[in-house]
């Protein structure tokens, strides 16, 4: 159960005092929802006298607050945040319906993703932190769905992507929480288990460990059988065990 939060003390007529810039937008969203649960409705009702006979539904306030926050953090908002992170948050609260682009847009998208992956060769990736590449890839996958995943796949398997960049893209593909593209992302990760680069294969295993889909067991078992990198093979076996696959 949520803990009680202090409600803002506002000057009636002027609205609540200006809030400080949110340290993190997710905090702001979560705080807004928690505050609502804990009595914001009563607060707004008493301050603004919004309640009619039946009063507005809590969901109305919740959505209103959410939309206000999202406007602030949108790419052209007052507190604009990185595009990828914004789309990620938006998708979590209001899942996207991916858009199937036509040929011309697909070609432009492919060129854009190729440029993104090439530019990422100069990026340094750190475990436990989002990268510029992963944030932008997530945005593109949310917006263009399987098409974006297919383009990433074509580029990786066309040997046009540096192994460390491919590994980051694969990790990102596994980490995303987006059901609409789950199948395409799983196919990409399984295919990457056969990459000639052990760094790329490692990225695929990390991605699959995030995905946690037992349907990957046959692909993992085949990968274990041909893997000659000791630690990587052990990681594959660990994942197989967690997914309920047979030991080799």
Partner 1 sequence: MTLVLRLIRQSRWDSPGEYDWLAEGEIPADALADFANTTQNCLSVWFVDDDQGNLDDVVAALAAAREKADKLDYMLFTPDHLKAAGIETRETDGRTPDEQINGRHRGLIHLSAAKVLELTTAVWRQNLGPRRVEERMVVQLVAGAVRNGRILLEKLRPKLRDDVRSCLDANRDEPRKPK
Site of interaction with partner 1 (CB under 8 A): 24, 26-27, 30, 127-130, 167, 175, 198-199, 202, 206, 209-210, 228-232, 235, 238-239, 242
Contact 37, 31 (CB under 8 A): no
Nearer to partner 1, 151 or 171 (CB): 171
CB atoms within 10 A of CB 228: 7
**Which residues, 6 or more positions from 38, have their beta carbon under 8 angstroms from its beta carbon?**
2, 3, 4, 5
CB of 124 to partner 1, least distance (A): 8
CB of 239 to partner 1, least distance (A): 8
Could you tell me which residues are beta bridge partners of residue 11?
A: 15
Nearer to partner 1, 30 or 51 (CB): 30
- As a whole number of angstroms, the distance between CA 215 and CA 167 comes to 21
CB of 27 to partner 1, least distance (A): 6
CB of 107 to partner 1, least distance (A): 33
State whether residue 167 is helix, strand or coil: helix
Nearer to partner 1, 103 or 228 (CB): 228
CB of 174 to partner 1, least distance (A): 10
Nearer to partner 1, 22 or 112 (CB): 22
Please give the distance of CA 103 from its chain centroid, rounded to a whole number.
26
Nearer to partner 1, 41 or 206 (CB): 206
State whether residue 11 is helix, strand or coil: strand
Please give the distance of CA 201 from its chain centroid, rounded to a whole number.
21
């Amino acid at each position: 159960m949520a803990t009680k939060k202090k409600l803002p003390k506002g000057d009636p007529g002027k609205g609540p005092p200006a809030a400080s810039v949110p340290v993190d937008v997710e905090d702001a969203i979560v705080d807004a929802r928690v505050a609502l649960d804990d009595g914001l409705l009563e607060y707004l009702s008493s301050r603004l006298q919004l309640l009619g006979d039946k009063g507005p539904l809590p969901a109305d306030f919740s959505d209103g607050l959410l939309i206000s926050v999202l406007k602030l953090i949108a790419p052209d908002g007052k507190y604009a945040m990185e595009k990828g992170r914004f789309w990620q948050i938006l998708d979590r609260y209001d899942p996207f319906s991916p858009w199937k682009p036509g040929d011309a847009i697909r070609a432009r998208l492919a060129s854009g993703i190729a440029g993104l992956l090439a530019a990422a060769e100069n990026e340094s990736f750190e475990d436990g932190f989002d990268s510029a590449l992963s944030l932008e890839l997530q945005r593109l996958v949310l917006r263009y769905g399987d098409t974006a995943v297919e383009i990433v796949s074509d580029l990786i398997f066309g040997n046009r992507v540096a192994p460390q960049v491919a590994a980051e893209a694969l990790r990102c593909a596994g980490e995303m929480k987006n059901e609409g593209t789950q199948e395409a992302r799983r196919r990409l990760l399984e295919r990457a288990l056969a990459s000639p680069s052990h760094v790329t294969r490692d990225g695929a295993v990390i991605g699959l460990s995030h995905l946690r889909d037992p349907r990957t067991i046959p692909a993992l078992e085949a990968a274990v059988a041909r893997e000659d990198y000791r630690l990587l093979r052990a990681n594959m076996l660990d994942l197989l065990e967690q997914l309920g696959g047979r030991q080799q």
